Amino acid sequence: MTLLPPAHDGRSVLLLEDLRLCSPTRPPRKHEREGHGRRLTRQRRAARSRTGLQFTMKIEYLHASKYGNGVTVAEEFSRQMAAQGVTVDIHHIREARPNELPLADLYLFSSPGRFGKPIGGMRRFLRKVELPAGTRYAILTTEAAPHADRAGHVPSDEEMAKWQHVRPIMNEILQRKGLVEVAEGKVQVTGIRGPLEEGWQQKVAAFAARIAVSKR
């Protein structure tokens, strides 16, 4: 235990908890049995016993939601990941320092679309991000659902990609820094302020499943 770094952030606290919970040298202390102090939630503990995982993952989720749809997606993602025993810390980019991001196993960046690009605040944030090369990241955007034109034609994904560059721009900025993408996805909104498309929770669940698998 003493060889571990001091518990200066959520991740190392988690590792210490894990070691304590897995330690074969002593039975759990009273406060650990009764769930006082910093501890795993009942949900995460249940997920751990289901999956047999000894170490859990921590994700920093950084979003730039303006009308709240991105926040709803983030909260659903966090709920889905908690069921896998994964901790997700959600922050609006306004509340985060790109050059002092907390330690995490994965950074998830989520931006709404603006005129074919990520919203300006997210572009600036990503340019300032300081993370070591090789750091893993994922992207989950909120983008406008395609609408039929006057002739009733709904643009395909390929047609949309001619002017919609939200995820490619985010990837370009992050990959220039040597970061490594593990997954990307989008959830659509049916109007500029929402609501989210029908079946959005299933999309988030499928995305969460890809992230959970990427760690193992």
Ligand X SMILES: Cc1cc2nc3c(=O)[nH]c(=O)nc-3n(C[C@H](O)[C@H](O)[C@H](O)COP(=O)(O)O)c2cc1C
Interface positions with ligand X (CB under 6 A): 65-70, 112-116, 142-144, 164, 189, 192, 194
Nearest to 39 by CA among 60, 62, 14, 61: 14
In whole angstroms, the minimum distance from the beta carbon of 71 to ligand X comes to 6
Residue nearest to ligand X (CB): 113
Distance CA 20, CA 23 (A): 5
Based on CB atoms, which residue is closest to ligand X, 56 or 141? 141
Of 208 and 212, which CB lies nearer to ligand X in the complex structure?
A: 208
Nearer to ligand X, 88 or 212 (CB): 88
Give the rounded distance of the alpha carbon of 32 from its chain centre. Answer: 28
Between 82 and 145, name the residue whose CB sits nearer to ligand X: 145
The least distance separating ligand X from the CB of residue 99, rounded to whole angstroms, comes to 24
Which residue(s) pair with 117 in the sheet?
A: 114
Shortest distance in whole angstroms from residue 118 CB to ligand X: 9
Element (H, E) at 90: strand 87-92
Q: H or E segment at 78? A: helix 69-82
Contacts of 41 (CB under 8 A, 6+ apart): 82
Structure tokens at 141: 């955007």
CB nearer ligand X, residue 65 or residue 171: 65
What six digits make up the tokens of 160? Answer: 């949309």
Q: How far is the CB of 88 from ligand X (least distance, A)?
A: 17
- Cβ neighbors of 53 (< 8 A, separation 6 or more) are 47, 85
Which CB, 76 or 143, lies closer to ligand X?
Answer: 143
The DSSP call for residue 28 is P
Q: How far is the CB of 149 from ligand X (least distance, A)?
A: 16
Least distance between ligand X and beta carbon 68 (Å) = 5
What residue type is assigned to position 133 of the chain?
Answer: A
